Structure 1
């Protein structure tokens, strides 16, 4: 008897053990999937309100090569090196089956956690996360999906800083210029971002100068010690400054790429780090 022909991948995925769960979740993306607090909460974010931030695209925990490799421990090592007070993560995969790397990371390092699911991947939920060493007063999912090709979302959380409330917004923008421009417009007009102290960070996919990049430059403070944005992609030999950080009502100091040996293997992106100095309102 000839061997039976294997069904196509799309059919195998549709008939998989998590198909029903995927369908139910996919009907509601984007959605705020988790908001959790660390077991020990410090009173204030550092001396005089100064705290450190980082943004890191973890490439679905697949390391620098991607594909079928699942190696969250590589990104874990990099995040541990950063020792940042607030971290924005993009392309975070939360598997339907087995351990949840994001939850393990937050628990092991003592971070508060917020996660927004952008789309439902065949292996689990895929989205953006914010980790913080202090309580998150609120969290908001911001839908940035325009068209059917790319489902995108941003996550905005409110942090209690020593000088008052501050919004941390984490985003992963589209590759297409026109879509990215609409996403920036949606971000800048969102009530949680349109006013007050804000730090916006994430994978902006700013692979070339565009209206979206110019709009962000006009809205936020982009002064830092570099003449240009630090390159972050690809991690093995970075040439493009895809990952960025912006601020309003705060100053960003020492904005740079984290270029350790571990970071060159942990993802196809390098983390971007900076120090935030909140500015009291006049």
Structure 2
């Protein structure tokens, strides 16, 4: 395994969405003065037909040649972004999900396209991207949208420990990009009512808007002191968090969220808000795990 410590890692599978992700990752690596590590995986299980019959050697060789060509193409795309960028490549014959999760233990960031060569029609996000977002130990960016949009960095805030980590990442991104940060605190998710006894639905269990504003202010306090030059717009609104963040993704250049928020259930690796953004955001989405 090539040393990926401290690098930005981008997955390459030959799909157009993966190549767009490579372009985004190369720009990020260039801006951060980091190495870009491009990886391509071949699941050994795909080397067999039905009944366990192995793939003919000539077919296997053709797949390997295509993968190597795609890696070379991705490296060329990265060099077009920055001729001085250090970009390394790696082709491994292992399943992509466990391999990328292993790399996430030392990488600075994992960057993936929303759908890959193995995606099925009708799926908005490939299974590899979803699984890596759910288990990665470093931030994962799913590069959605045809072109990186101009605009602010947007972050979802709910007072949970994971959203505090997301805030730190969002401030860093806004500071480096020299753009404003929009901190969104939306606290009403009516679908939650369907998961609790009906008598709770008639109770007003939601704190007042002043209390919600206090949650956001307390979450921002330390970070605003650390990044005094980042303009911050506070959005406190009674709405479903994913609706607000999906709306903001149409005018943001990056949306940052924690993998699970305050309303998450024990055992869930991804909350409903991060799931929705990974599947439907209109700009790149960074998911920060604990």
Same fold per superposition (TM over 0.5): no
Per residue, is there more helix in 1 or in 2? Answer: 2
After TM superposition, the score normalised by the length of structure 1 is 0.28
Q: Which has the larger radius of gyration?
A: 2
Per residue, is there more strand in 1 or in 2? Answer: 1
